[in-house]
Amino acid sequence: MQIRIVIAASILGAGFIASHAMASEAPAASPAAATPAAVVMPQSVDQAATIAALTQENALLQEKLKALQSCSITSTDLAARNSKRLKEITADVRAQRQSMADFESYVKWMSGHVAGYSKYIQAGSVAARFARVLPIPYAGQASLFTKFVSDAAVSLGATSVSINKYLGTSQQFLNRADALDPNKPNYNQEVSDLVRFADQDLLKGMGDVQERLVTTSQLSTSSLSFLESLNHYVGTTDEYWNKTKALLKSDDKAEKSFLAESTAALRNKAQVFNTKLQFFDSTVKKTSPQIKALVAYDDLVRSMEPKLAKAK
Q: What is the pLDDT of residues 77-86, one digit of tens each?
A: 888 999 999 9
Both 88 and 140 in one domain: the answer is: yes
Name, in order, each residue with C-beta under 8 angstroms of 38's C-beta and a sequence gap of 6 or more: none
> By CB neighbour count within 10 A (0-12 exposed, 13-18 middle, 19+ buried), where does 274 fall?
middle
Q: 21 with 105, same domain? A: no
Q: How far apart are CA 33 and CA 29, in angstroms?
A: 6
At residue 79, what is the residue type? A
Per-residue pLDDT of 245-281, as tens digits, reads: 555 555 556 666 777 787 888 899 999 999 999 999 9
Phi, psi of 227 (to 5 degrees): -65, -40
Asked if residue 157 is part of any domain, the answer here is yes
Do residues 138 and 53 both lie within one domain?
no
> For residue 32, is it within any domain?
no
Q: Exposure string (b/e) for 75-99, b if CB count within 10 Å is 16 or more?
A: beebbbebbebbeebeebbeebeeb
- Per-residue pLDDT tens digits for 109-161: 998 887 776 666 665 555 555 444 444 444 444 555 667 778 888 999 999 99
Cβ neighbours for 172, distance < 8 A, ≥ 6 positions apart: 197, 201
Domain identity same for 180 and 296 = yes
What is this structure's pTM?
0.67
- Cα separation, 15 vs 8, in Å, equals 11
Q: Show the domain range for 51.
A: 2-25+38-70
Total domain count, the chain: 2
User: Distance between CA atoms of 305 and 193, rounded to whole angstroms?
Assistant: 13
Cα separation, 93 vs 89, in Å, equals 6
Residues 56 and 157 in one domain: no
58 within 8 A of 16, measured Cβ to Cβ: yes
Q: Are residues 197 and 85 in the same domain?
A: yes
Beta-carbon contacts of 111 under 8 Å, excluding residues fewer than 6 positions away, are: 153, 156, 157
Spatial distance between the Cα atoms of 94 and 100, rounded to a whole number of angstroms: 10
Question: Strand, helix or coil at 236?
Answer: coil
H/E stretch holding 210: helix 203-234
